[in-house]
Chain A
Amino acid sequence: MAEAMRQTVATMLKGIERYNPDNLPTLQRYVETQSRENAYDLEANLAVLKLYQFDPQTYNVEITSQILLKALTNFPHTDFVLCKCLLNEKRLMESPVDHIMYLADVLERCDFETFWNRVHSMPELCSRIVGFHDSIRKFVCHVVGITFQTVEKSVLAQLLGGVDGKPFIALRVVLAKLRALVPHATVRHWVNKYGWREESNNLVFIANQDENIKTKNITEKIDFESSAAIMAALR
């Protein structure tokens, strides 16, 4: 469904057609399809926000929230910033947009523990976005992958957050304490997915970082062309 719509929508985004308010209903439906089917199309979503910007009366907070949550799923890309720039101060303070702003902020700061705690405390907010948790975990893995050579498994488990699909229960506090113990299967899944390696002593080997991250010495190079000019002059 999302794939089929992608084609139709692409023609709606060409040139001046992008600003045609008649396209808004289709584009909004497309946003909902993306949430349901775990698809993503930044350009179409920005066009929706643009139409809201041109005609504030059509603004729909529900659709906007979905667009913003979808932008979170595309970290580390800066899609969220792009969306934010098309809104305005008043909109950012309305609920639930303000909650999403908070989520984005802690995610940008890489404070994953706080992020997961907040997500688990209001499961109804993110549950509409299919594949939300795993998309965030992809971002976590991206950051882990560029930062660590070896990391403790418990640290990794904490960064990856709790297990998916846990029903929201009142015993949240107990659950939070358990959570550090729970996700070993989840951790293993992500370790395998990224080709990392579980080692003894509860360590996970990520990658040989010293191959990529090493001290660079930039020395001066003088190319043939520039010295040729001198040689010609000295002849």
Chain B
Amino acid sequence: MGRDEGKQSGGAPSAMERIKQDSNFLRGSLVEEFGNRITASIPEEETKILKFHGSYMQDDRDVRQERKHKKLEPAYQFMIRVRLPGGVATPEQWLKMDELANTNGNGTMKLTTRQTFQLHGILKWNMKQTIQEMDQALMDSIAACGDVNRNVMSTANPYQSSVHSQVYDTANRVSEHLLPKTKAYHEIWLDEEMVLDGRDEDEPIYGPFYLPRKFKIGVAVPPSNDVDVFSQDLGFIGIVEDGELVGYNVSVGGGMGMTHGDTTTYPQLGRVIGFCKVDQATDVAEKVVTIQRDYGNRSERKNARFKYTIDKRGLDWLKNELNDRLGWSLEEARSYSFDHNGDRYGWVKGDGKWHLTLFVENGRIKDEENHQLMTGLREIANVHKGEFRLTASQNLIISGVEENEKETIEQLVEQYGLSDGRYNSALRRNSMACVAFPTCGLAMAESERYLPSLVDRLEDIIEDAGLRDEEIVIRMSGCPNGCSRPALSEIGFIGKAPGKYNMYLGGGFKGERLNKLYKENIGEDEILASLKPIIHSYAKERLEGEHFGDYVVRAGYIAPVESGLDFHN
């Protein structure tokens, strides 16, 4: 290991640490600030506390300068992110989110890269009502953002149903177990009685400072690595022997985020350190979280993710520390094999029921003049008796359809032109973009609004090369925080400025290898000009079954990156 620690731990705690400590267990002055009618914003410090309640303050960046000129404050609005372990929602929950998106939101829903709903454009005055209505549909947004464990992901497609229900159960239990214990959310949004001064409260897992940074957990069931288990701070890889789920391999220290121009920050892959039984997963999760709580860097937020904690002290240190805290030792990791990190579209049957995976471009549910996606899904929710499963690639599974209901669903799919991806190129089906402009405050370049048209242009090249049905994972993020997990794509883009991206190549198709910077700060023309010859030679020179990411490494276009420590070399 032995990376240069630069401005890492040992320094004074970052300002965020004081904010957390002073927040009285995440209450802050939220009640008072949400009552202030002079601004649709809340003060910056309060926004940091609000994150723990699952909401970001944002503004419509498209009109920011225009409004400033008009002497109006930015068009402040709030994003609410639901906590939805494993991405499973009932039709009633779907309908409630749809309704809230249309009454209080911007008329669209975003299915996120962490398998949950996001509503955008909620005005300050409508926040409480929105959260209360979510609550009535048994949804909350506690800890959906903030320095805590975030929404727990799990493999979405239930074609091995008996195993999947167990895996979902693990995701759910871990999520519940790692929820903050403070009643702040209930008091502030749901009008539950105040805990007088918070002193009676305690956060047995987190403590008053919570974690140094966000923490992400995902559970994967091979051969599908749809949750990108190696991008997670903590990953569980389901081990199935003789059709039975026997336990999980434990992977630690993955993460996507970095900062442009700062090589002490980098994306990293999780590393498998052992195996635990199914009912031990919650205990493992808790102990791993407490290690990060105690050892994570609290002075430099850029270097505070678990991956840096591990890379600084070594994997052996972590294993020992974990075994000590558990009071027992992880077993040897078992063998497993992934074969992809995307979704498998169309109908599959499992456990006597049918499941339909629909392609939702960039997870945006909305109605357009010629494509009534939102209405179509609402109609399905009105008749569907099973579940909706949100996938880690921002797609949607209509899950648990009885044989005799299948035709009804199929008719609605047909009527509203919903897509199982069959008519899309394999490249588009494997594309993913974060939100970025106009709502995300971090965005440096377009992402969701731009990737579809870039894929249009790439499709011309791909089709020319005869690769329309070749699955190539392409991902774009508007900033280096990497919500769409761009470092784990075969072709990755990270925004630098409007119209300018860093282009990365060589990621593994199964999410097992990071990509690497190929060209810096380029626009569309150069993107196309750079990729065209590579795609054509891939078409000519690829080996049987060889994926694009593997080819560019073999052909010497880019060096392989097996560890984040080599990402910048």
| Chains A and B belong together in one complex | no
